[in-house]
Structure 1
């Protein structure tokens, strides 16, 4: 891997691109084991610099300066709840600009490095409403109302961030943000959410809105109640994410993360996460240990221990474990690059559990009134429970399945020349992937190779074997088409991608089709929903934007995890449950 240049695969572009899809997958998935994306190291350094000098340091300076504190006097502010509050608002502000998570080249934004506010501050850009039945939300593009609410929301966050705060009735000597200042951002992000799920999800509202509600309401109950509710929130996030990793998917995530990590230079350790390289690229026992013990169990057991522990030593050990957990995630530079979120959670775990230990009056039994804990707990788990039972109804973010490997996914297969029609999206600040690469002096044929090799990331995950199997079985000219990840399409069409397939589902496809007007056959899309906890199947659809849904079906998750990433034994079994063309998509298992 070069420092300023990517580690390009050892192929002749024209010869490689002429190969059948299955052969290309075999080459790219085996190469992933040793190189991951092969990203130039300078990009990882840029993210590290950004995390420290554009997030952490400015955040500390702003929050301390506006709270009457000095950032160099760490002992005076590390356990001040107003700093905890303001760092959450600071992070939400950056997320809402798309300057935190899902930013930069690791999210396939090469030129420019951000979509976010460059989309959301302009009328006419694609807007995705979450529910068609909500009155006053019709349309697929942003209006002056949407842009106005977006700017007002950003301003309301800034106002709360720079306000000096003060002591409430029982919070002395701890300073807090004036709860009334949090009403405006709460109302505005909810109104935005009804009209535009992209901005709502990009702001990470599923985690920060509950925090703002806690800051806005519970100080009037008692200071201790607010702190305990904050503990309950972070524990639900941890445990929800941990529970989502229990299943068949998450173990496939570990080898992919490790192979792409710049912190692991030895090929032998990368290969140790696979059963038997190069013959068997399924996860090894080491990957299973990391997934089930260090991942799922560690993310469930340790947070519960922190919530109830009254032993200071045990609490500190638990906090250190969670710090190491988040540092490991940061070190792997996961594809949505939620680095700021992980660093924030490191600080939150320290201030809540070390700064306000349960044994000092900040345990769940100290909440006043006592029944409030049941109400808060029920509210916090509502969307995670619903989202895991009915993943089609809830984004994977409120479902707390951020990196569980159980995702809604999509692949777009463009006929020759059809991708150029995306240029009809006139209000689209980010060009198609290959055009971005060409703009940074990557020859076009190499851009195609890099884009194609990036698709191996999806194949290495469980649901990737399903979408590729569907492509191979039902898209007859698949070897002649150019395949693009749904994540890439979401980034260039909505300005944001975070691993959530609901951002590039039928709603986005329809919104793009309104402006682009693909002809029938120009694009074939395979889109699959997450696995619900009630069954070991995933639902998929085959979509032509110009025609609509062509077929629906299911595949077995067990078949996916048992298959090799490059499908050497052919596509996994697929069950077509509905079809618009029985000859082309025959009902039943094939």
Structure 2
């Protein structure tokens, strides 16, 4: 859990009655909806399991419990995104003003500029991974506030294989490359177009050479810092920039193939037992679903059994079938007729539903982009089918990213980020839990150069220590409600037991704090980040330990985990089974006896856990664990 903060006891009156299922869940304007905890000191003295039972049951009815103002922030962000796109497009010579949308919305340069604008919007940090639902309260973004600062942490993807990428310290060169990305996108957005090509009437198209600086700078920067490339959603928008170099008719086909790969990649990622958990958790947090009866219908037997019921399981299957079947028809058989428009409207409603749930991670602009793409590619240009491709080199450019990487990412998720692997919001991601001694956490916050304070400190400034502790706990309840969170419950107990001096923080929050961005990518807060932080903080053995849990390969029914110590390195590896996760509730039930398999301990691990079993010596261990089992 995130720290049980030591604060003075306060009292709050308990509600005198239990809410009924048919009651509407209330929402406050400014204050979050939190569990009724009269005595915060007593609450902090409870075990992790006891606290999680309260917090996860509260999640069923209230989700994160966000105040109305949080959702207003995301609505405002959507207005900025749409308004920015309209501004850049309407300023293009040859295109009418904002009021003349009907005359220009289907022009080729409009879609090109929307791609560039969305990439810029994301790489600034305004899109995915921003705001309160990603534990960014003040400031609500990190990215640009962090990546323009030399000395901050960068994470190269292949430091031992790509020359000139070693190290974890951001240099002036990295900052300059990031500026080129920003300026290159702005340069492309301000270009007048004018390339008159067959089929692209009106203002024509962008000269493809205008996006060369953006393509090159983002590629070079991505080799030095994978975080920025992923934040730019390079697997979609950067790849789409290459399509600008083809004839207009082939551009339309290329964009359609990118959309198809995104839909099919997302559908493939849901061929597992994890996705029903995601659906249940998402529906509990959906702001438009206000009735408790509907929320509790997502679970087998509230409050005893919080595993997904048949309802989210059915919805999961419908979502998977939708992302396979409807895009298949649109791309290969749609020709602009009435059936094409029926399928198009169905997919628009599908993405509007996702948008309305305001999912954690908030990929809202991404869904708006999809909705516009549906109308542009399959509505306005529905008669232009993939069978009309002229230049086969387009496939040579696209297929490695649209086919090879997703296939590799599903078979070897440890080698490919879930974003280019297109394994989207399906509950099957790499994750991590970080365990700190209090002095180590304070040292990290003091030593690192960051764009923000730790989430609990941000919340304490906004509210008070009691609210901060409970809201931090709600983040942990969100993780616990997923299938992989149930494995983390057991693995954290395996390392730390129920030691009240160990502060457990979800790796997502560490990434947002330490590298400026977080969006569900566990490879950004694994042992590579731990080593980068250790270089700066010099922790002692036992000060900081992390548990990393890799995503499930599509051909296996287990997941690989590792335990690392900041000072000692790798301590233990093993696997946990998906079946065991599915059998459990979202709170620890048997302490450190969580079943693990294929366990291997390093020499450092044997020594560390042997020391942990003996009487504690200050600063030497993050907790106790039993002997490894297999």
Residue of structure 1 in register with 2:370 after alignment: 345
- Which of 497, 508, 530 is 1:487 aligned to? 508
Which is further off, 174-183 or 31-40? 174-183
- Give 1:439 deviation, angstroms: 1.9
Q: Deviations over 1:415-445 (max 9, x none)?
A: 23331112233421211121111221x2224
Unpaired segments of 5 or more residues in structure 2?
A: 1-26, 611-624
The counterpart of 1:256, out of the listed 281, 294, 300, is: 281
CA–CA distance in 2 between the matches of 1:327 and 1:200? 27
Unpaired runs of at least 5, structure 1? none
Aligned-residue offset at 1:378: 4.5
Tell me whether 417-426 or 467-476 shows the greater mean CA deviation: 417-426
Contact 2:276 2:313 in 1 (8 A): yes
Does 2:146 align with 1:122?
A: no
Equivalence for 2:6: none
Partner of 1:94: 121
Aligned residues: 579
- Counterpart CA distance in 1 for 2:70 and 2:492 is 32
Given the two structures, how large is their TM-score scaled by the length of structure 2?
A: 0.89
Q: Secondary structure at the match of 1:402?
A: coil
Query: Partner residue of 1:519?
Result: 540
Deviation at 1:202, TM superposition (A): 0.6
- Counterpart of 1:164 (choices 188, 192, 212) is 192
Q: What residue in structure 2 maps to residue 229 of structure 1? A: 254
TM-score (norm 1): 0.95
**In the alignment, which of 136, 139, 142 is matched to residue 170 of structure 2?**
142
CA pair 281-130 structure 1, distance change in 2 beyond 3 A: same
Change (3 A) 1:395 1:67: farther
1:314 Cα deviation from its structure 2 partner: 1.2
Deviations 1:560-586 (A, max 9, x none): 122111244666411252102445563
Given that residues 67 and 82 in structure 1 are in contact (C-alpha distance below 8 angstroms), is that contact kept between their aligned partners in structure 2?
no
Q: Which residue of 2 aligns with 1:586?
A: 627
Of the candidates 201, 207, 216, which is equivalent to residue 236 of structure 2?
207
**In 2, are the aligned partners of 1:579 and 1:585 still within 8 Å (CA)?**
no
Partner of 1:183: 212
- Partner residue in 2 for 1:242: 267
> Which deviates more, 450-459 or 308-317?
308-317
Describe the shift of the 1:372–1:191 C-alpha distance in structure 2 as closer, same or farther (beyond 3 A). closer
Residues 1:131 and 2:131 are matched in the alignment: no
Q: What is the aligned partner in structure 1 of residue 531 from structure 2?
A: 510
TM-fit CA distance, 1:483: 1.6
Q: Distance in 1 between matches of 2:389 and 2:235?
A: 23
How far, CA to CA, are the matches of 1:387 and 1:585 in structure 2?
34
- Alignment correspondent of 1:499: 520
Quote the residue 1:152 is aligned against.
Answer: 180
Matches within 5 A, 1:21-100: 21-52=48-79, 54-69=80-95, 70-100=97-127
- Conservation of the 8 A alpha-carbon contact between 1:14 and 1:445: no
* Matching of residue 307 in structure 1 with residue 331 in structure 2: yes
Q: Partner residue of 1:399?
A: 421
Structure 1 segment 388-427 matched on structure 2, within 5 A:
388-427=410-449
Deviations 1:61-105 (A, max 9, x none): 221222432221121112111111101111110111101211111
Quote the Cα distance in structure 2 between the aligned partners of 1:384 and 1:291.
20
Separation in structure 1 between the aligned mates of residue 544 and residue 469 of structure 2, nearest angstrom: 17
CA distance in 1, matches of 2:598, 2:399: 40
CA contact (8 A) 2:336 2:381 kept: no
Out of 456, 463, 477, the residue aligned to residue 456 of structure 1 is 477
Pairwise CA distance, 1:111? 1.5
- The aligned counterpart of 1:10 is 36
Among 288, 308, 332, which residue is 2:357 paired with? 332
Query: CA separation in 2, counterparts of 1:566 and 1:426?
Result: 32
| CA–CA separation in structure 2 for the residues paired with 1:370 and 1:516 | 52
Cα displacement (A) at 1:473: 2.5
CA distance in 2, matches of 1:434, 1:102: 17
Post-superposition offset of 1:486:
0.5
Tell me the SS of whatever aligns to 2:435.
strand
**What is the RMSD of the two structures over their aligned residues, measured on CA atoms?**
1.6
Shift of 1:39: 0.9
Asked if the contact 2:154/2:168 (under 8 Å) is kept, the reply is yes
Over residues 26-54 of structure 1, what are the superposed CA-to-partner deviations in whole Å (9 max), with x where a residue is unaligned? 111111100111111111011112202x1
* Partner Cα separation in structure 2 for residue 369 and residue 422 of structure 1: 53
Secondary structure of 2:166 counterpart? coil
Structure 1 distance, partners of 2:395, 2:179, is: 35
Q: 1: CA distance between counterparts of 2:400 and 2:380?
A: 26
Q: How far apart, in 2, do the equivalents of 1:185 and 1:572 lie?
A: 48
What corresponds to 2:567 in structure 1? 546
Worse overlay, 430-439 or 189-198:
430-439
**Structure 1 residue 370, shift from structure 2 partner:** 5.1
Partner of 1:287: 312
d(CA) in 1 for partners of 2:393, 2:145: 45
